[in-house]
Amino acid sequence: MLELLHRKNKISINDYDYKQDINIRLLVSSLSVDELNVLEELLYSSIKTNLKDLSDNLDIDKNTLLLALEKFSKVNFLTIENENILIDKKARKYFEFEYSRFEDGFKADLLFFQVLLQKIPIHILPVWYSLPRTSNNIFKSIIEKYLSTPNILKRHIEDIKYENTIFENILNDLYNSKNYELDSIEIQKKYNFTREEYLEIILFLEFNFALTLKYKKTDDACIEVITPIQEYQEYLLHLKNTLPDTIPNTKDLIKKRDSDFGFVEDMTSILNMSKKTLPLDTVNENLKKELNLKDPKINVSKTYLDSVIFRLLNLKFIEQIDNNISITDNGNLWLEFDLENKALHLYNHQLYTFDQEDLPYKLFNEKAIREAEKSISNILKSSWVYFDDFIDSALAQLSDDKQMKLISLGKIYKYNIPTYTKEEKRFIKKVIFEKLFESAIVSIGSIKQKDCFKITDFGKTLFDI
């Protein structure tokens, strides 16, 4: 079936004896619980055994045992001569691999995929995965190219979706499912595949690290399911489980400014006042009166008024001589923009700096600031959230040790999830509650003295990537 699909993907299951794989998968997936018990006994027996010993060990009658053994003999797993059973060593390796999917505690992790790839002639792997033929460690090179970070794997899976609608439908179903796990047989039925067609598709998608197939045991059956690879599924579940809940009741919300563009509007008001040189105290008093009329519910603090003046001075939109301020040419140019372009200009302004307070200077570098800004992408579909809930889901790669990359812990791999010190949490909050608020990307406030925020409609247009 797959050979008929037009693909840029270089993986072709025709490059090896995939029919043997499919035949074994067809057989193993059709086995009853009792037949699986027979298979397990065969896998852990000597390559030479006999019917009586096998029947005694399993406590089943000889005729029932023979019916199961005949299934295995048809795929050259064993031969039966009189009462003796001879197991093929090479075939047993295939069956051991497939049976592992049924075992308690099975993990479809990268170690499992490393064994999967051992079925493929080694000279084919560099072609499949577009690797240099001089690669010293092919599996390591595959990991670096396709799995080294969650985003790299995500992009690879998205590329597979574009190959054809078959892959797209299955992968969309899986990655939009509740816990990234689906009943495999239901998917086969949904898209009206034959069993063989479906297993070919799964085999191809496994070789692309897009998903895997395994079994969940119940008392009287084994349920076939598909999931992402273990490491990626754990990462996705972390994102889902740490996503902050939207605040259900915001009746006690006290917003910093009612308008999403409130800070930009206040900068505009001061600039318009400053077209004539005025004492700073007069400007602050005028702005306070204006805000009391616009937002009668908010408390206009001196700290807030100072922050507006600080930003105008920082961007050289006004100049201060003694206690008097006046607009600059840069300020006049900025006034010509509409609200959205004013906010965008403010967000991207090269002169934008922070009052660093007592936070470490090393945190205030361009990369860390951008990472802190991007961390809000996780809540694009949310409304108001508490910052303290949000920070647990933030994925800001502030430094090298915060990189979301695949790390090896002995024989185990996992995607590194960053955690933050108190200072780093304060830094992320400062970026969100100052720069992103001032730039109209987030709206901020508090409920019963707990700080909260939400992404504005304008912010969603910038961060929906």
Cα(372)–Cα(369) distance, integer angstroms: 5
Q: Quick one: pLDDT band at residue 1, thresholds 50, 70, 90? A: low
Q: Quick one: pLDDT band at residue 95, thresholds 50, 70, 90? A: very high
Nearest to 378 by CA among 264, 262, 225, 242: 242
Strand partners, 455: 442
Candidate from 265-274, 292-301, 411-420 with smallest mean pLDDT: 292-301
Nearest to 450 by CA among 428, 427, 433: 433
Q: How many CB atoms lie within 10 A of CB 249?
A: 8
Please identify which residue in the block is written with the tokens 């069956």.
Answer: 95
* pLDDT in the model for residue 170: 97
In this structure, what are the phi and psi dihedrals at residue 216, rounded to the nearest 5 degrees? -110, 125
In this structure, what are the phi and psi dihedrals at residue 50, rounded to the nearest 5 degrees? -140, 165
Please identify which residue in the block is written with the tokens 């499949």.
Answer: 128
Q: Quick one: pLDDT band at residue 401, thresholds 50, 70, 90? A: confident
Average pLDDT over residues 189-213: 97
Residue 6 has pLDDT above 50, yes or no: no
Is 260 in contact with 457 (CB distance < 8 Å)?
yes
Q: How many CB atoms lie within 10 A of CB 324?
A: 15
pTM over 0.85: yes
Residue 406 has pLDDT above 90, yes or no: yes
Counting residues of the chain whose pLDDT is more than 70, the rounded percentage is: 98
Is 175 in contact with 153 (CB distance < 8 Å)?
no
For 107-158, the pLDDT digits (tens) are: 999 999 999 999 999 999 999 999 987 778 999 999 999 999 999 999 999 9
Cα(197)–Cα(187) distance, integer angstroms: 12
Average pLDDT over residues 8-30: 92
Q: Quick one: pLDDT band at residue 7, thresholds 50, 70, 90? A: low
Cα(84)–Cα(92) distance, integer angstroms: 17
Nearest to 217 by CA among 101, 112, 68: 101
Q: Using H for helix, E for strand and C for coil, what is the string for 93-133?
A: HHHHHHHHHHCCCCCCCHHHHHHHHCCCCCCCHHHHCCCCC
For 408-435, the pLDDT digits (tens) are: 988 899 999 999 999 999 999 999 999 9
Q: Kindly report the average pLDDT of the chain as a whole number.
A: 92
Tell me which amino acid residue 176 is.
N
Higher pLDDT, 163 or 280: 280
Nearest to 325 by CA among 364, 282, 294: 282
> Would you call 319 helix, strand, or coil by DSSP?
strand
Tell which phi-psi region holds residue 86, choosing left (phi > 0), alpha (psi between -120 and 50) or beta: beta
CA angle 176, 182, 409 (to 5 degrees): 85
* Length of the chain, in residues: 465
